[in-house]
Amino acid sequence: MILTSNKSPDQWGELLGNKRVATAILNRLLHRVELIQMDDESYRMKHRQRVFDE
């Protein structure tokens, strides 16, 4: 399963409105997982900018 999010784990409490629920969900999701964090510029936005520039 691949799960993507544009929110970091510390922002999930605010997103879900309950820090305890967010912690429980993340605890189950992140158990024995390989986490790949991508901090680069958005590929889609990079190409979208080119469309708007034309």
pLDDT, position 35: 84
Mean pLDDT of 29-45: 81
Q: Which residues lie closer than 8 Å to 16 by C-beta, 6 or more apart? A: 22, 25
pLDDT of residue 28 exceeding 90:
yes
| Residue range 11-25, pLDDT digits in tens | 999 999 999 999 999
For residue 22, how many other CB atoms are within 10 A of its CB? 19
User: Domain ranges in the chain?
Assistant: 9-53
